[in-house]
Amino acid sequence: MIWGYLELASDLVAGAMRALPPQCTGLLRKAVAVCQRDEGVPAVGVTGPVAAGPADRASDLDLTVTLADGAERGFSADWPTWRAAVADLVLARAVGPDRVWTMGTSEWLRWDVLAEPAAALAAPVASPRLAAWDPAGIAARLTVVRDPAGPSADRVEGMVRERFRVTAMSEAITVRQDWLLAIMHLDHLRELTRRLLEEGHRSLPPHGVERSSSVPTPAERSVLAALPTAADTPARLLAAHLALCQVFPPAAEALMAQVGRPWPRAIEQAATRHILAQWGVAVPYPRHAP
């Protein structure tokens, strides 16, 4: 009866789940079966790439477990028993202060669970979901609000300010001759560059799944792949800095103008003066790529 109900009520889930490893469907069914025995759980949903699409074999299984009023504390207390009843786990840990857990089974199926109070669903939710078990029709009443298309002004400005902060502190590496820190330093700058370029593509339809190869464009990926990853002398660190700064500022300035935020001239000027004093470079933040 449990399996039949899941199949009849969730044809859309069954179709979407085919993108994941086949064992994930059995994992979902077992989770639903365990929740059906709990009076404090009126619904189980599937979110993440399975619901938003497109999922693939590298995607996690993301579940929402809706909790009836007053059931939150009991579910949290019974969580170890609940997860053990669903699968043989080798990994289970809480993520953040909320009721979010990430897990891995002995077959290395990756799945995450968000336990949410039913009362919280009166407000809009950030991601779509498919009803895996939902006799009360809770999922059908949800209001889903996606991130607005287009770059986020706060994210763009935050990345620009962080870029100046990080690039103007290279003496922490050279004074201490810490070339392992140089690798971390350049990793952070490359990641900021990647995120900035990705932010510029937010006017495109959402992909629904994290794929680092989908954006930026092929030409931008070539630029990112060519960026330096390490430095073991001050001269090489300076060369790496200049290579990274030939990519970031032109793209950043265009995005700041697009989102209507003023360019942080005072920060740039202070960072430029500092780099000039440290490195003798008068123009460390070129406006145009060569």
pLDDT in tens, 104-129: 999 999 999 998 888 888 777 777 88
* Sign of the CA dihedral with 196 first, then 202, 204, and 208 last: positive
Q: Which residues in the chain show pLDDT less than 70?
A: 1-11, 96-98, 146-149, 203-216, 287-290
- In a 10 Å sphere around its CB, with 0-12 CB exposed, 13-18 middle and 19+ buried, how is residue 89 labelled? middle
Give Cβ neighbours of residue 2 (< 8 Å, ≥ 6 apart). 29, 32, 33, 36
Domain ranges of the chain: 2-141, 153-279
Residue 59 CB partners (closer than 8 Å, separation 6+): 19, 20, 48, 49, 50, 209
Q: What is the pTM of this model?
A: 0.69
CA distance 284 to 276: 8
Q: Are 285 and 268 in contact (CB under 8 A)?
A: yes
Q: Residue count of the chain, please give it.
A: 290
pLDDT value of residue 10: 57
pLDDT tens, 66-84? Answer: 999 888 878 878 888 888 9
DSSP secondary structure string for all residues of 116-130: EEGGGGGS-BSS--E
Which superfamily does 2-141 belong to?
Beta Polymerase, domain 2 (3.30.460.10)
